[in-house]
Structure 1
Amino acid sequence: MAPPNAPRRGSLQYWPRKRARKILPSPNWKAIKSDSTKLQGFICYKAGMASAYVKDETPDSMTKGKKIVVPVTIVECPPLKIFSVRFYKNGKVAKDVLAESLDKELKRVVRLPKQNKKEDLGGDYEDVRVLCYSVVKKTNIKKAPDLSEIALGGSYEDKIKFVKENLGKEILVSNIFEKGNLVDTRGLTIGKGLQGPVKRFGITLKAHKSEKGQRRPGALGSFHPKRTTFRAPMAGQLGMFTRVTYNSKIIELGKAEKKFVGIKNFGDIKTDYAILTGSIQGPAKRQLLITTALRETKKQKKKNYEVIELR
Structure 2
Amino acid sequence: MSGIIGKKIGMTSVFSADGRNVACTVVEAGPCVVTQVKDEEKDGYKAVQLGFGERKEKRTVKAMKGHFKKASTSPKKVLAEFRDFRGEFEGEVALGQEIKVEEIFKEGDFVDVVGTSKGKGFQGVVKRYNFGGVGDATHGQHNRLRAPGSIGGASYPARVFKGMRMAGRTGGNRVKLLNLQVMKIIPEQHLVLLSGSIPGANNSTVIIEK
User: CA-to-partner distance for each residue in 1:83-118, whole Å, 9 max, x for gaps?
Assistant: 12223359x65899x9xxxx87466345337778xx
- Aligned twin of 1:25: none
Output the CA distance in 1 between the equivalents of 2:58 and 2:35: 12
Q: Which of 32, 39, 52 is residue 87 of structure 1 equivalent to? A: 39
> Normalized per residue, which structure has more strand?
2
- Aligned twin of 1:279: 197
Contact 2:4–2:30, Cα closer than 8 Å, also in 1: no
Output the CA distance in 1 between the equivalents of 2:174 and 2:64: 32
CA, structure 1 residues 278+205, in 2 after alignment: closer, same or farther (shift >3 Å)? Answer: same
Aligned residue pair count = 196
- Aligned twin of 1:163: 93
- Aligned twin of 1:71: 23
- Aligned twin of 2:17: 55
Contact 2:101–2:187, Cα closer than 8 Å, also in 1: no
> Normalized per residue, which structure has more helix?
2
CA, structure 1 residues 106+176, in 2 after alignment: closer, same or farther (shift >3 Å)? Answer: farther
Q: Report the Cα offset of residue 77 of structure 1.
A: 1.4
- Aligned twin of 2:180: 248
Contact 1:41–1:151, Cα closer than 8 Å, also in 2: no
Amino acid at match of 2:31: P
* 2:91 aligned with 1:111: no
Output the CA distance in 1 between the equivalents of 2:7 and 2:109: 18
Output the CA distance in 2 between the equivalents of 1:94 and 1:151: 8
Residue 197 of structure 2 aligns to a residue whose secondary structure is coil
- Aligned twin of 2:152: 221
Q: Report the Cα offset of residue 171 of structure 1.
A: 1.3
Contact 2:55–2:77, Cα closer than 8 Å, also in 1: no
User: CA-to-partner distance for each residue in 1:222-241, whole Å, 9 max, x for gaps?
Assistant: 32221121233211111111
Residue 145 of structure 1 aligns to a residue whose secondary structure is strand
Contact 2:16–2:183, Cα closer than 8 Å, also in 1: no
Contact 1:109–1:145, Cα closer than 8 Å, also in 2: no
- Aligned twin of 2:110: 182
Output the CA distance in 1 between the equivalents of 2:12 and 2:66: 47
Q: Counterparts in 2 of 1:293-308, with a 5 A limit?
A: none
The 4+ residue runs of structure 1 with deviation greater than 6 A are: 113-116
Residue 17 of structure 2 aligns to a residue whose secondary structure is strand
TM-score by length of 1: 0.54
Q: Report the Cα offset of residue 283 of structure 1.
A: 0.9
Output the CA distance in 2 between the equivalents of 1:179 and 1:200: 36
CA, structure 1 residues 113+220, in 2 after alignment: closer, same or farther (shift >3 Å)? Answer: closer
| Identity score, percent | 30
- Aligned twin of 2:207: 289
Output the CA distance in 1 between the equivalents of 2:57 and 2:179: 32
**Any stretches of 5+ residues in structure 2 without a counterpart?**
none
